[in-house]
Amino acid sequence: MDNTVCQVKQPTLQTQRLTLRPFCFADADDVQRLVGAREIAAMTLTIPHTYEDGMALEWIKTHPIAFSEGKDVNFAIALNNTGKLCGAIGLGINQEHNHAELGYWISKPCWGKG
């Protein structure tokens, strides 16, 4: 599977422990597995349970266009020490009203670790 996803250069942000980076197609299997937990869907408004096969890849495919149009920006949250995906964070941007809505999820194995 092609590992690229962005034709528009979305920033990557780094902290001491985490990297916020664009999702790539290779993340789809991990997203599918992690978001499939009932507890994740219960804590969000837009993630369904059951999270069907193929939904993660289709979601990731929407990111470049939404970013280039200024509608959304989504970041994979990865641990710096392992590169392991541990969640997602994004902004839904409403340009007309000059505001954005923040949404995120953290995988259940990463809960309670700061």
Classify residue 7 by its DSSP letter. S
Confirm whether 4 is domain-assigned.
no
Confirm whether 52 is domain-assigned.
yes
Confirm whether 8 is domain-assigned.
no
Confirm whether 7 is domain-assigned.
no
Q: What is the CATH classification number for the domain harbouring 26?
A: 3.40.630.30
pLDDT per residue of the chain (114 residues) written in tens, 0 to 9 = 444 544 458 999 999 999 999 999 999 999 999 999 999 989 888 888 888 999 999 999 999 999 999 999 999 999 999 999 999 999 999 999 999 999 999 999 999 987
Confirm whether 65 is domain-assigned.
yes
Q: How many domains are contained in the chain? A: 1
- Give the range of the structural domain holding residue 77, as residue numbers without chain letter: 13-110
pLDDT given for residue 45 in this prediction: 84
Confirm whether 28 is domain-assigned.
yes
